[in-house]
Structure 1
Amino acid sequence: MAHTPFKTVGMVGLGKMGGAIAKALVTQGTHVFAFDPNLKVSPIEGVTLVSTLDALMKEAGLFVIAVKPNFVQPVLREFQKPGIFVSIAAGITYDQLVTSTPKGSTCVRVMPNLPLVSNRGAMGYYCEEEGVSHTERLFYGMGECIRISKETLMDVVTGLSGSGPAYVLTFLQAMAEAGLQEGLSYEESLGLAMETIEGTLVYFRDLRTKDKAVHPMEVRNWVTSPGGTTIFGLDALERGGFSTAVRDAVRRATERSRELGKG
């Protein structure tokens, strides 16, 4: 079945993530109206900025709420008629969305990440059955969109894929600095590091399309020769606590998402 994008979508907030979603929607042919009191002109071509929430309500029936978590419920309480409300705020629960929106509304809690602007996002969402088709339609073509079975796991999505790009970029910078330290120019080192990370993921994804049972450690072993350079590098990573640090990062970000939900 061919994808039919929404004709109009209302955005509340055009920050980094809200702006990324708006830009992706515009490329699909959706007319995006946005309300952001911090802006006087739209920073995104094809997005029409309106001056009030009332004006936004007149233009769309589906709204993406892309404001900081502490503003989500106050903003939702301003809406006067039922609609479809998609919140991308960390920690704000589905019940908080439902109790803050007009009766008869459809609510969705979603955690996207920034690569969606390049159609490579990783998005987890939670909602009742009536919200599934709206969510899949809204984020169509922006990347992997996965319905999460239990809402309690949405905080894990936030800690893993929501915050994940920052972890990957930190790893990328560390690799680039290591090459610089060993004598490569920064551009040479960064270019090699970027292609290594992206190429490895593309290669592993291709392997997984043929065999879902392929494990990352199995493939790692293919490039780890006895007494070779890779095993010495891996040993240094583990002595530095690399795997534990990554797990701790996801765990701490998950805990913070839970804390945000408690206000």
Structure 2
Amino acid sequence: MAHTPFKSVGMVGLGKMGGAMAKALITQGTKVFAFDPHLKESPIEGVQMVTTLDSLEKEAGLFVIAVKPGLVEPVLKEFQKPAIFISIAAGISHSQLVSSAPKGSTCVRVMPNLPLVANRGAMGYYCEDQAVTHAERLLYGMGESVRISKESLMDTVTGLSGSGPAYVLTFLQAMAEGGLQEGLSYEEALGLAMETIEGTLVYFRELRAKDHALHPMEVRNWVTSPGGTTIHGLDALERGGFSTAVRDAIRRATERSKELGKG
């Protein structure tokens, strides 16, 4: 079925995430209006700035709330009429959105991540059945979006993909430093590390398209020869607690998302 973009969307906040969404929407032909008290003019070509929330409310029927968690509820309470509200704030529950928005509004909770800037976001969203179409229309073309069945798992989405780019970049830097330590220049090591990470993911995605049940460890075994370099490297990772540390990072980030929701 052909994608039908929204005619107009209102943005509250034009930070990295809000700005990335605005840019993607403009590319699809949507008119984007934005209110951000920290900006006098739009940093994104095609976005029309307004000076008040009242003015924004007159321009659209769907609004993306892209502000810090503590500002989501106060902002929603400023709106006067029912609309579709999409919140991208960590920790703010669907019930908080509904109770703060004008009565009769439709609310969607979305957790995007930084690659959204390159239209490669990994986004989880939670909403009631009647709002699914709105969410999918908004997020179309921005990356991978997954409807989450239990709202409690949105905190896990935050800990996994929301915070995930920071984990990947930390791993990237560690690989580059490892190459540097062993004699490569930093640029040589960084270039090799970036292409290794990206190339591996592209390859694994292609394999999974043919065999959806394929497990990452099975592919890992293809390059892990008995007594070879890779098994020794993997042994060092596990002696350093690599897998456990990654799982713990996701768990702690998930816990923090829950804490943010409690205010």
Report the TM-score when normalising by structure 1. 0.98
Deviations 1:91-129 (A, max 9, x none): 000000000011111000010112122221111000001
What is the one-letter code of the residue matched to 2:215? H
What is the one-letter code of the residue matched to 1:109? R
SS in 2 for 1:33: strand
Q: Where does residue 27 of structure 2 map in the other structure?
A: 27
1:137 maps to 2:170: no
State the alpha-carbon separation in 2 of the partners of residues 158 and 63 from structure 1. 21
The answer to whether the 8 A contact 2:16-2:117 is kept is no
1:154 maps to 2:171: no
Deviations 1:198-253 (A, max 9, x none): 11011111111111111111111110011111011101111111101100110000
Q: Once the 2 structures are TM-superposed, how far is the Cα of residue 191 of structure 1 from its aligned partner?
A: 1.0
Q: Bigger shift: 244-253 or 173-182?
A: 173-182
State the alpha-carbon separation in 2 of the partners of residues 119 and 20 from structure 1. 8
**Percent same amino acid among aligned pairs?**
84
What is the one-letter code of the residue matched to 2:101? T
State the alpha-carbon separation in 2 of the partners of residues 131 and 185 from structure 1. 51
What is the one-letter code of the residue matched to 1:49? M
State the alpha-carbon separation in 1 of the partners of residues 70 and 200 from structure 2. 39
Task: Summarize the alignment of residues 5-84 of structure 1 with structure 2, pairs less than 5 Å apart.
Answer: 5-84=5-84
Q: For structure 1, list consecutive stretches of 5 or more residues without a partner in the other structure.
A: none
Q: Where does residue 199 of structure 2 map in the other structure?
A: 199
Q: Where does residue 190 of structure 2 map in the other structure?
A: 190
What is the one-letter code of the residue matched to 1:228? G
Deviations 1:148-206 (A, max 9, x none): 00100000000001111111111111111111121112221111111100110111111
The answer to whether the 8 A contact 2:125-2:147 is kept is yes
Q: Once the 2 structures are TM-superposed, how far is the Cα of residue 29 of structure 1 from its aligned partner?
A: 1.5
State the alpha-carbon separation in 2 of the partners of residues 155 and 40 from structure 1. 34
What is the one-letter code of the residue matched to 1:117? V
State the alpha-carbon separation in 1 of the partners of residues 182 and 45 from structure 2. 43
1:123 maps to 2:123: yes
Report the TM-score when normalising by structure 2. 0.98
Q: Once the 2 structures are TM-superposed, how far is the Cα of residue 74 of structure 1 from its aligned partner?
A: 0.3
Q: Where does residue 90 of structure 2 map in the other structure?
A: 90
State the alpha-carbon separation in 2 of the partners of residues 32 and 179 from structure 1. 45
State the alpha-carbon separation in 2 of the partners of residues 246 and 42 from structure 1. 38
State the alpha-carbon separation in 2 of the partners of residues 10 and 174 from structure 1. 40
Q: Bigger shift: 119-128 or 182-191?
A: 182-191
Q: Where does residue 232 of structure 2 map in the other structure?
A: 232
State the alpha-carbon separation in 1 of the partners of residues 3 and 187 from structure 2. 40
What is the one-letter code of the residue matched to 1:162? G
State the alpha-carbon separation in 2 of the partners of residues 201 and 50 from structure 1. 41
Q: Where does residue 163 of structure 1 map in the other structure?
A: 163
SS in 2 for 1:82: coil
Deviations 1:32-62 (A, max 9, x none): 1111111111111111111110010011110
Q: Where does residue 223 of structure 1 map in the other structure?
A: 223
State the alpha-carbon separation in 2 of the partners of residues 31 and 248 from structure 1. 42
State the alpha-carbon separation in 2 of the partners of residues 117 and 34 from structure 1. 17
State the alpha-carbon separation in 2 of the partners of residues 21 and 233 from structure 1. 40
Residues paired across the two proteins, number: 263
State the alpha-carbon separation in 2 of the partners of residues 223 and 94 from structure 1. 45
State the alpha-carbon separation in 2 of the partners of residues 45 and 78 from structure 1. 27
State the alpha-carbon separation in 1 of the partners of residues 170 and 149 from structure 2. 30
SS in 2 for 1:260: helix
